[in-house]
Structure 1
């Protein structure tokens, strides 16, 4: 089924050459899932312009989809499910789906999967539903509860089902791969980093995080970018600790082991050298591909004087010495960090502040007041909301170009522009300053540049083509800052010729069998060539040729599958399609799937454990997993079953029945979960309605400690005579809702009383009552 879909989506692209950048520098652009909501009031022509369809992919080598967040249990969630009150004390991020399940309130599916068509309920077996059912099944969707499950990725959602539209605009990953651009998943960001430290320090939470890394990679990403702001120093509503540095380094190694050596692993780092001293850089160099240094946001509304957002060099008026690109590069060189692994930041936006001077200038004192920001909440800031309210003081470059009334100047020391209008100061980058930074990167043999964010400089100079209700594609796009970077990086480079790929004519194979064929390629530049293929395996023969092998699925009827072969010289790639005609057998004899599970797992009382299972199916059928206990999440290799153990006073076991089904047959296995009793049985555990307690056991309930008077199960402390509030030997004030036994003492209105028998609610001092004055 997946083969058929791939062939359908790739149809019409049988032999196409795509021009990756002609230079060898990284141009990494961050593309967000929220910018697409913005329209003309934010500098764009139409709402839906700021998507992957309007990115010049001949300029970028990598795009970072931003962001997935980290929840309190270590799991990952869609950035659109961010807790908007996370800045408040004690606020936490609850777990959530990896992609926002509501197609109407999020752009997750539109950006990642492309132009969509919707099916509003799961089809039945009626003839008129056959076409919808076929599309749903071909794309790997199955019914799951009251919603749906996309089996290839494990993504779940609510109705409607978002189908990729045949012949429609591709999603971010498909489009980027067609053009030789890699796409990474970026995790964290300023407002979603709160739970990084505790996750990295907790093996259980980290295991859950790494399991979700598998799910992210199953979406088709080429790697992981970590944006933990900031190890050792903390960020929005959380503190850092010295242990963060080693935990970060170990986390990078764990992710590398999880994704393998051929995927990319990067991270965003502060540009402040004070926040970088705690790292073991040699250790990071061994596990990571590059370091993305955020050489922007160096001054803003928090600053005491007006300074530059992203200065290239030091300047006399800077509030804090060393917050510039040149100082950071020198420091990193002294640390022995390989220059080709360093990418410096390019800001496609500016930062505006208000000063206390009648006419603003570099170094002018800022004028702060409490500002209620959309992300940071109430904050003391000098951000300029009079001129840049829509951007909360951070206007995109394309909007700055549209705004008049400013006097634009150049700082020859910092080598960046700025603008003033009365008391207002604006720091930003323009084409000349971006060219200087790009040349600096070339001159110092650095890895490249990171761009925050790719839609900050775009301008549509043509018309728009609508792809469905959301996506808008500009017929003539201008990206002046990105184009400036490309001009500098490409200057003096030798033009690259695309390789020439040869593939055979259509192949024929019987149902369930394999077919192999040879492909070859030549390159006039003599570059090393690498081959890949979709829906098939590839063995490089080392002589400019490769052997491609396709395993046909079992099918009763004749069907046609497209195997897409690609060859790359590292700078340009060529793809061609090979048609494979699969001859149906007439009768499909289903081979049941084979389930692989651990025999047992161990978990502490009240904790959660993840059981990873997998299955093989000789027919290549789509597999569905279920479990008698816990929740099931599909992974790239099978499924993860999360089981929460009961709170128990004695060791116990749980039988978890796991089932895998290929639509016709099932395989079943039992996993024994060994639950270890809480340490200190009979100690201060939280009361559990399902637990058995004996005389003298103590529990906590509602913040109060209770003691069991006899064997009990299900009797709620405070509401049953089976429990009495724990007597620690001190005399406390009398409580009407507390049970007292003979000999207990209490004080009431300053007088001490002793209970003559068991009592609850009887006020001391009443004649004939259970209390006697001491």
Structure 2
């Protein structure tokens, strides 16, 4: 698909000739002025067919429709404990653990075998395994290396223009090869931002922003990013004020964030872009001085996704456009946030970009057939990023994604019943007890139209490869990069269509009028009238929440009817009324005060909470199951319902039994199981501290039928192993996915996963530059990546030390 560039790209038409393997095309004039900002990650390229892609290496810059996107955010660089920046490939995978910190590391991961950093940013590479000497036969290669700015640096290399260093081989840009992200974007008139932070690499933001010394170290690395050719900086501090993974937020964060934006702006100058991602919750945004931020920043990227998920108590939407009756927390939607930002806080609409999720979120519920608003079923899950967490995430259907499947994968799955929520204006799907919230072309287009009609700045996409599908062939650019000859991006294309549509005058939302608070006795019926007008005279339709009904009386008027619940205590109910003209909506609420009516019995209106009896502790072996018996009494003899934060609950004649399956652990661990009982009005709860006993050393805890994620540990044949990525059925000691406690992986080690330092040389292992081994009693160090090259050979991969 080819379309005009955005006004933020290039105003005039131009012709560009791409490098080898890329097509020649003429770019037309712009057709809209909205920003389409896409996050492109450094890790998605590792994923293959199990994650919805045709081949590994498909999810790179070569397969992004740059005729649609105006800005691409390369994600992520992390913040280390000294304030410096590091490649996202070097993040501390245990950062979720108490007292964990992020150590400094290279800005770009220099290992071309185990990282995509250089392949994405610099393009197709040719590897030079030794720095060329001054011999005549090396003259041409030396000239190429020096022309690209590489000089010798100890045993490795340094790229002088950017200060990036690394071990051999030298990652030389291949002459005539596929361009890197920034070069390709420059040809297309697209801006590329360096995105810093993210959920798992924001821990040190608060201390850096508060410490002048650490901040100066941070800003020096910002200089290095700009030297790499980035067009600006995007800050993903998750989150100022409210905290994130293994750190707490404070009120001081807000002013420190504002000052950091001022400092970055001064550092990069007025002609570069400065943006940041923000939590899409008004309560977390109140502390910012938005007038100050508006002066230093170009755009506010609001993360209007991840609003519900495995942490939620009921099944809800990942990214709802409008409010809906089943939402657990009122106001978590795009429309409410827009009204707060623009109408309440007066934030310039043209600086606001709202989020579009190119992925879904799946949860499991307690119901045999899931539904919107169904209670979620939580248990302890060990996530690859978040570590051990209580979550209702659906791993049965979305294992490879840890419950967050890309759109290009989820749309191909069968057995799901797909539905549309007319209130939130998003789809969802159910299959048995499983619930999936996602966005499709229709809902993405509605979000884009909303952004257009409300004169907002644009849209942010997480992430650009979530919807791509190759309908052509692949051109190989070296061993890593794959370019599709016919790329489809259905969600991104809907954004482009909506932003490019000739809409004429901007449509105005209807104006809704509702009455003041109402009062009604319990179990009685109340009716009241609402009305609405529309500036364009469009036909209006009304909807209502909270089990109320609404009758359209015509002429912009409707009658709401509501039956109050039976209650022996005073209640306050809220009825949400929505009117739509087919393009925009207006929403208001009516408070209904429900007056109690005393019930029968000697003490009308009285109710006491049930009393729960549960053991304080329990013990179970690693990976085994324990049954916890509980009981409760209720003075009024009400029916009691039991639930637990982990395990499955089954009712018994005297109470309930919680069946809890312990995680596999290599050290004793305590899991707190919270048990709750309710009589329908009041509750009581107790915590059972379950001690999970580790297996004896030498015993096997690895289960060939169990799924393991990055960071999981097992014991096999007396050796402790840690999983480096998702795995099932791959035996420790025979597969590179498992890393032994001493750093080795055994036979089958894959590229970039070295065979250890100081261990005996193995012909089956892969070694990287700098790895040390022992062979025939002598120590050797690898000069470059190799496998099967025996130490001691003249001109070989090993040097004697």
TM category (shorter chain) comes to: 0.5 to 0.7
Asked if residue 355 in structure 1 is aligned to residue 365 in structure 2, the reply is: yes
Q: Output one character per residue of 1:211-257: Cα deviation in whole Å (capped at 9) or x when no partner.
A: 00000000000000000000001100000100000000000000000
Of 415, 419, 427 in structure 1, the residue corresponding to residue 425 of structure 2 is 415
Counterpart position of 2:307 = 298
- Using the alignment, how far apart are the partners of 2:143 and 2:20 within structure 1? 19
Question: Which of 230, 235, 238 pairs up with 1:226?
Answer: 235
The answer to whether the aligner puts 1:147 opposite 2:156 as a matched pair is yes
Instruction: Report the Cα distance in structure 2 between the residues aligned to 1:218 and 1:321, rounded to whole angstroms.
Output: 45
1:201 aligns with 2:210: yes
Partner of residue 285, structure 2:
276
SS at match of 1:282: helix
Work out whether 1:372 is the aligned partner of 2:377. no
Preserved contact between residue 242 and residue 248 of structure 2 (Cα < 8 Å)? yes
Per-residue deviation at 1:470?
A: 0.2
Alignment-derived partner of residue 397 in structure 1? 407
C-alpha deviations, 1:321-356, integer Å up to 9, x for none? 110000000000120100000000000000000000
Match in the other structure for 1:428 = 438
Higher relative contact order (CA 8 A, sep 6+): 1
- Do 2:20 and 2:178's aligned partners in 1 also have CA atoms closer than 8 Å? no
Q: Do residues 184 (structure 1) and 160 (structure 2) align?
A: no
Query: What does 1:300-315 correspond to in 2, within 5 Å?
Result: 300-315=309-324
Q: Judging changes above 3 Å, is the alpha-carbon distance between structure 1 residues 201 and 77 closer, same or farther for their aligned structure 2 residues?
A: same
Q: Deviations over 1:396-415 (max 9, x none)?
A: 00001111110000001000
CA shift at 1:132, angstroms? 1.4
Partner residue, 1:244: 253
Name the structure 1 match of 2:128: 119
Q: Deviations over 1:717-741 (max 9, x none)?
A: xxxxxxxxxxxxxxxxxxxxxxxxx
Contact 1:19–1:179 (8 Å) recurs in 2:
no
Counterpart position of 1:22: 31
Are positions 1:264 and 2:264 aligned together?
Answer: no
CA distance in 1, matches of 2:62, 2:470: 12
* Cα distance in 1 for residues equivalent to 2:361 and 2:44: 18
Following TM superposition, the consecutive aligned residue runs of length 4 or more in structure 1 with deviations greater than 6 angstroms are 7-16
Per-residue CA deviation, residues 163-200 of structure 1 (Å, 9 max, x unaligned), is 00010000000001101111000000000000000000
**Is 1:325 the equivalent of 2:334?**
yes
Matched, 1:381 2:395: no
In the other structure, the counterpart of 1:64 is: 73
Shift of 1:128: 1.7
Q: Give distance in 1, aligned partners of 2:46 and 2:205.
A: 28
| Residue equivalent to 1:461 | 471
Q: RMSD in angstroms over aligned alpha carbons?
A: 1.8
How many residues end up aligned between the 2 structures? 488
Contact 1:21 1:61 in 2 (8 A): no
- Aligned: 1:36 with 2:45: yes
The one-character-per-residue Cα deviations of 1:8-33 (angstroms, maximum 9, x if unpaired) are 99799999743475210000000000
Q: 1:423 to 1:16 in 2, by over 3 A?
A: closer
Question: Aligned equivalents of 1:253 and 1:282: distance in 2?
Answer: 12
1:480 aligns with 2:480: no
- How far apart in 2 are the matches of 1:84 and 1:22? 44
TM superposition score normalised by structure 1: 0.62
- Structure 1 residues 493, 163: closer, same or farther in 2, change over 3 A? farther
3-state SS, counterpart of residue 359 of structure 1: coil
The change in CA–CA distance for 1:149 and 1:424 in structure 2 (over 3 A counts) is same
Give the whole-Å Cα distance in 1 for the aligned partners of 2:175 and 2:39.
28
Contact 1:20-1:179 at 8 Å conserved across structures: no
Corresponding residue for 2:64? 55
> How far, CA to CA, are the matches of 1:129 and 1:84 in structure 2?
42
Q: Is the 8 A contact 1:21 1:59 kept in 2?
A: no
Indicate conservation of the 8 Å contact 1:9/1:167, yes or no: no
Query: Match of 1:164?
Result: 173
Are the equivalent residues in 2 in contact too, given 1:20–1:180 (CA < 8 A)?
A: no
How far apart, CA to CA, are the structure 1 residues paired with 2:22 and 2:309? 47
Conserved 8 A contact 2:18-2:187: no
Cα displacement (A) at 1:127: 1.6
In structure 1, runs of 5+ residues without a counterpart are: 1-6, 495-774
Q: Which residue of 2 aligns with 1:528?
A: none
Equivalent residue, structure 1, for 2:83: 74
Distance 2:312 2:380 in 1: 14
Instruction: Give the distance between the partners of 2:112 and 2:101, measured in 1 at CA.
Output: 25
The answer to whether the Cα contact below 8 Å between 1:74 and 1:209 also exists between their aligned partners in 2 is: yes
Change (3 A) 1:109 1:322: same
Give the secondary-structure state (helix, strand or coil) at the position aligned to 2:466: coil
Measured in 2, the distance between the counterparts of 1:343 and 1:388 equals: 29
Q: In the aligned structure 2, how far is the partner of 1:410 from the partner of 1:60?
A: 28
Instruction: Give the alignment's TM-score, normalised by structure 2.
Output: 0.60
Kindly provide the CA deviation profile for residues 622-670 of structure 1, in whole angstroms up to 9, marking residues without a partner as x: xxxxxxxxxxxxxxxxxxxxxxxxxxxxxxxxxxxxxxxxxxxxxxxxx
Give the SS at the match of 2:355.
Answer: strand
Partner of 1:99: 108
Could you say which residue in structure 1 is the equivalent of 2:356?
Answer: 346
Q: Residue 74 of structure 1: CA displacement?
A: 0.1
Note if 1:173 corresponds to 2:173.
no
- Aligned equivalents of 1:172 and 1:467: distance in 2? 14
